[in-house]
Amino acid sequence: MSEIEPPKPKSNSGRKRGIRSLAEKAKSSANRVLREQRKKISKSQNDLSNAKRKRDTVLKANDALNGKDSSVLDADDVKLLSPTIQEHVKENIVFEPNKGPQTEFLAASEREVFYGGARGGGKSYAMLVDPLRYCHKDHHRGLLLRRSMPELRDMINHSQRLYPKAYPGAKWREQEKEWRFPSGARIEFGYAENLTDVLRYQGQSYTWIGIDELTQYPTEFPLQYLQSRLRTTNTLIKCYIRCTANPGGVGGNWVKKRYLDPAPPNESFTGIDELTRKFIPARLEDNPYLALDGKYEKMLQSLPPVQRRQLLEGNWDVSEGAAFAEFEYDKHCVAPYELPKHWQRVKGVDYGYAAESAVIWAAIDPTDETLIVYRELYKKGLTGEDLAKLIFIYEKEDKLSPQGVLDSAAWARTGTTGPTVGEVLTTAGHKLRRADKNRIQGKIQIHERLKINEKGRPRMIIFKTCPNLIRELQGIPVDPNRPEDVDTKASDHAYDALRYLIMSRPRSLTPYERMSQVKKWVPADRVFGY
C-alpha cells in the first residue's frame, strides 16, 4: 500500500488572497442586499405618499361635493379619483382656468404678480377667482380695487354669479360692498378714483389685495400705500398682491418699469424692496372662448395702429396718445460705443427727492451736430449732497465734468435759510446754471431732434444703457387738456432733464474754443450755450 502524501501547506500570501476574496464577496453580497432593501423602502414610501395624496384628494372632493369647503383640485388630482367621483367632481366645477397664463397666474407663489397684455386674455376673471384660495380660513380678508364705481359694479356682478357657487352660504352685503363667507373670511370691493382715495384704507389689514387695470393710475403711490396694508398674524396664510392691466394708459411707464424691465416674462425676480415679483403676459389666443371663432380678433384688428398693437398684440413699447409717436427704438437707440474725448459734452439735471432725480449726459458729434445721449442717472430719495457726489461718480470716465443746466426750481427758496439744492451742487464744483423751462418749445425741440436727416440718421440717438429715458419717450402721453404739451401726471423726470439739456442750445466747439476751455468758468444765466 502506497503512502498518501499530505497536502502542502499554503503560503501566507495565498491565505491572504483567499481571505481578501471572501471578504470582497461578502461585501458585494451585503451591498446587493442593501440596495434591494432601499428599493423596497423607496417603493413603500412612494406608495404611502400616493395613498395619502389619493386619500386627501378624495376627502377634498367629498367636502366640495357636500358643500363643506371649496377646494382646488388640479387635473392630476382628479385622475386619482374613481370614474364615478370624477364625473361628480366635473359636474360641480365652479371655475376651470384656461391653460397657460391664466393657470400660471392662479398658481403663482410670488408676493406680487402682474398679469398684463392683450385684451380678452381672461385677466379680470382670474382676478375674481384668485382671492378665493383662502376663503375657507376665517383670517382671510381680501380687497379688490378698480378706478371707478361703474367699473367696480361690473366686477361685483360677475362675483355674484361665481362666489355663491364656489362657497354655498356666501353673502353679499351691498352697503359695505363686501362678501362674507361661512368661514368668516371677507372680500371687499372698492374703488379709488383719485390717488389719495387709497388713504381711506388706513388702519386696515388685508391678506390679499388686487388692483384691476393698474395702468389707469399715473403713479405707483396707490400700490405702494396698499402694500403697507398687507399683513396678517396667521402664519398659515401668505399675503399676496395681484394686478392686471392692458398696455398703455397714463401709468403704462411706471408699470412697465416695475414689472417688465427687471426680468423676462414668466421669470420670478426680487425687487429692491426684497419682495418677489413676476410678470405674466396675456394673449388673446390664451382665451379659447374669445379666440375660437375669430370675431373678437377681427374687431381688435380694426382698431387704430397703436391700439391694435396694444390690445391685440399686448405690445408695451407703444402708447396710445404718445407724445413722441415718431420715436422708434430700432432707429433712435444704439448699443454703447466709445465717444471721442474731444467731443463737447453737456448734461441736464431735474432734481427730486420724493420723486426721481434725473441727470442726462450727451455728447455732440461735430460732423453733423447729432446729439448722442450716452448716460443717465435716475434715482429717488437723494439730497443735494447725495446727488452732487453721485454725479461725480458717474462722470469718473469723463475727461472733464461737463457743464450743464439745472431745473430753476432747485434754486428756489421755500422759507428755509439754508443753501438751495442749486447752491449745494455748484458749491460742490458742478458747472450748472438755470435751465430754460419753456415746455412747449422744449417739446418742439425734442421733435426736431427725433427727425431723420438726409443721411437717414436721426439728429439724436440714445445709448441702450439709458432705459428710463427710452421708456419715457416711448410712453409719455400727450396732455389731454393741452395737446401741445406732455401729460405731467405721467413719469417725466428723464424727459424733463433731456428737455433742459436740449433747450441749452448744445453745439460742438470750434478748435479755438476747445483750446480756451481752461479759462475760468463763471455761471451765468445771461448767456446761452457753452
Q: Residues 106, 122: one domain?
A: yes
Which of 144-153, 168-177, 242-251 has the weakest average pLDDT?
Answer: 242-251
**What is the arithmetic mean of pLDDT over 328-339?**
92
Domain total of the chain? 3
Which of 279, 311, 343 is a domain's end point?
311
Based on the fold, state whether residues 62 and 168 are members of the same structural domain: no
pLDDT value at residue 237: 86
Grid coordinates representing 154 are: 361690473
pLDDT of residue 528: 40
DSSP 279-336: EEEE-GGG-HHHHSSSHHHHHHHTS-HHHHHHHTT--SS--TTBTTTT--HHHHEE--
Flag whether 364 is in a domain: yes
**65: in domain:** yes
**Do 170 and 106 sit in the same domain of this protein?**
yes
Q: Check whether residue 333 and residue 464 sit in a common domain.
A: yes
Are residue 123 and residue 205 in the same domain, yes or no?
A: yes
41 within domain boundaries? no
**123 & 67 share domain:** no
- Please identify, among 264, 282, 311, the residue that sits at the C-terminal boundary of a domain: 311
What percent of the chain shows pLDDT beyond 90? 41
Query: Is 21 inside a domain boundary?
Result: no
Q: Residue 260: which H helix or E strand, with range?
A: none
Buried/exposed code over 451-488 (b: 16+ C-beta within 10 A; e: otherwise): eeeeeeebbbbbbeebbbbbbbbbbbbbbeeeeeebbe
pLDDT tens-digit readout, 159-189: 998 899 888 899 999 999 999 999 999 999 9
Tell me whether residue 9 is in a domain: no
Looking at the domain assignment, is residue 42 inside a domain?
Answer: no
pLDDT digits (tens, 9 = 90+) for 343-380: 999 999 999 998 899 999 999 999 889 999 999 999 99
Domain shared by 295 and 172, yes or no: yes
Could you tell me which residue, 466 or 65, shows the higher pLDDT?
Answer: 466
Residue 471 resides in a domain: yes
Mean pLDDT of the chain: 82
Asked if 464 and 473 count as a contact pair (C-beta separation under 8 A), the reply is no
Output the pLDDT for position 281: 87
Is there a single domain that holds both residue 379 and residue 357? yes
For residues 62 and 192, membership in a common domain is answered with no
SS (H, E, C) 108-169: CCCCEEEEEECCCCCHHHHHHHHHHHHCCCCCCEEEEEECCHHHHHHHHHHHHHHHHHHCCC
Tens digits of per-residue pLDDT, 425-477? Answer: 999 999 999 999 999 999 999 999 999 887 888 999 999 999 999 988 988 88
Last residue of a domain, one of 311, 344, 366: 311
CATH number at residue 206: 3.40.50.300
Domain annotation covers residue 183: yes
Q: Are residues 89 and 125 in the same domain?
A: no
Same-domain pairing of 89 and 105: no
CA dihedral defined by 188, 70, 139, 276, rounded to 10 degrees? -80
What's the pLDDT at 70? 46
Clarify whether residues 59 and 160 are in a common domain.
Answer: no
The predicted model gives 184-195 an average pLDDT of 92
- The 8-class DSSP code of residue 452 comes to B
What per-residue confidence (pLDDT) applies to 171? Answer: 95
Check residue 524 and give its pLDDT.
Answer: 45
Most confident of 30-44, 136-150, 499-513: 136-150
Parent domain of 150? 101-311
pLDDT of 529 reads: 41
